[in-house]
Amino acid sequence: MTRPEKDVTRAEARTALEVAARESLRAPSVFNTQPWKWRLTGDTLELSSDPARRLGVTDAEGRLLLISCGGALHHARVSLAAAGWRAEVQRLPDDQRPDLLARVRVVGRTAADTQAEELVAVIPRRRTDRRAFGDRPVTQETLDRLRRLVEAQGAYLHVVPDDRVPELAIAVDEAADANYFDPAHHSELTKWTHRPAWADDGVPATTAVQPGLRRVPVRNFLPDGSPGMLPGADHDEGAAYVIIFGTTDKPVDLLRGGEAMSALLLRATAEGLATAPISEAVEVAWPRRLLSRLLSGVGEPYLIVRLGYVEAPGTVPPTPRRPPTDVIQIED
């Protein structure tokens, strides 16, 4: 029997919110920058962006920062839902505090959400897998489920038809070229791929993949170094490419786009799919316009995701994560 809302004590709410904030630390983010902060005060949990972790060159407009923070918000939300807590979320609640992205409060008990339980269960093993995917196709039924899940988060999902994947490849390749010949971008990439062990962030060499023949290029995170993983013998023949998009590039829509990203990646992982977000083509203005053409001009592209099945042996090593004490501020 569901307990009435008045039975939720302040202590219970605080404990649930702290657990949710800790769960969010595994959320994906651009260059694994983890650009978010949590503040737990009273029975309210606040999510803020961390401007010090914004990629000033790669993400000059702050779009990917908001998407990354949206991923953390969704991780926290599914943690609460899986534990049977009903939460109230206010997005961008204060015009005077643009870095404050969301307030979360526990407002009642409910039955544990079984779908949320499935998503929370795969949080520890979700990885960005940059290896080549095999020729096993992603079924239309799976893509339809992922589309519905993305739409439930307030965003949209476009599956790129096979005959238009070459256009997608051009957009990604154009962006990669622009970044490669930009010394400032190269410096920023080097900063986030050569992190000291104590930093607990960034993209370690162990998760980077050596260049290989692909339908759509994969970012070379270590152009001057030695990536730790082989791409495998396959070439993404069965991969599906999807674009998460929205109707505008307003901060609240980008935040929801990040929530949709998290929902898609976790659901795909639960269904045995490998996933790899591709952000290059949204980082540079001209390739982003090419993506808009793939959407027939009806939406604003937020992120590309490659989906498929890996036939290569072994698993992708985990990326480092910042300790809770660095990210979560708890006040009385």
* 76 and 178 both lie in a single domain: no
Assess if residue 41 is contained within a domain: yes
Neighbours of 261 (CB within 10 A): 26
Q: Which pairing describes strands 100-109 and 85-91: parallel, antiparallel, or unpaired?
A: antiparallel
In this prediction, residue 6 carries a pLDDT of 53
Phi, psi of 196, deg, nearest 5: -65, 155
DSSP, collapsed to helix, strand or coil, labels residue 113 as coil
Q: Dump pLDDT digits (tens) for 26-43.
A: 999 999 999 999 999 999
In this prediction, residue 4 carries a pLDDT of 45
Domain span at residue 204?
Answer: 140-308
* 87 and 151 both lie in a single domain: no
Q: How far apart are CA 226 and CA 51, in angstroms?
A: 30
In this prediction, residue 315 carries a pLDDT of 86
Q: Would you call 275 exposed, middle or buried from its count of C-beta atoms within 10 A (0-12, 13-18, 19+)?
A: buried
Tokens of 184: 């400032």
DSSP, collapsed to helix, strand or coil, labels residue 106 as strand
Q: Dump pLDDT digits (tens) for 159-210.
A: 999 999 999 999 999 999 999 999 999 999 999 999 998 999 999 999 999 8
What total number of domains does the chain contain? 2
* 177 and 299 both lie in a single domain: yes
Listing DSSP states for 1-50 in one string gives: -PPPGGG--HHHHHHHHHHHHHHGGG---GGG---EEEEEETTEEEEEE-
Assess if residue 135 is contained within a domain: no
Quote the pTM value: 0.96
Residues of the chain with pLDDT under 50: 1-5
Q: How far apart are CA 231 and CA 257, in angstroms?
A: 29
| Whole-number Cα distances in Å, 112 to 3, 24, 90, 126, 210 | 13, 18, 22, 22, 42
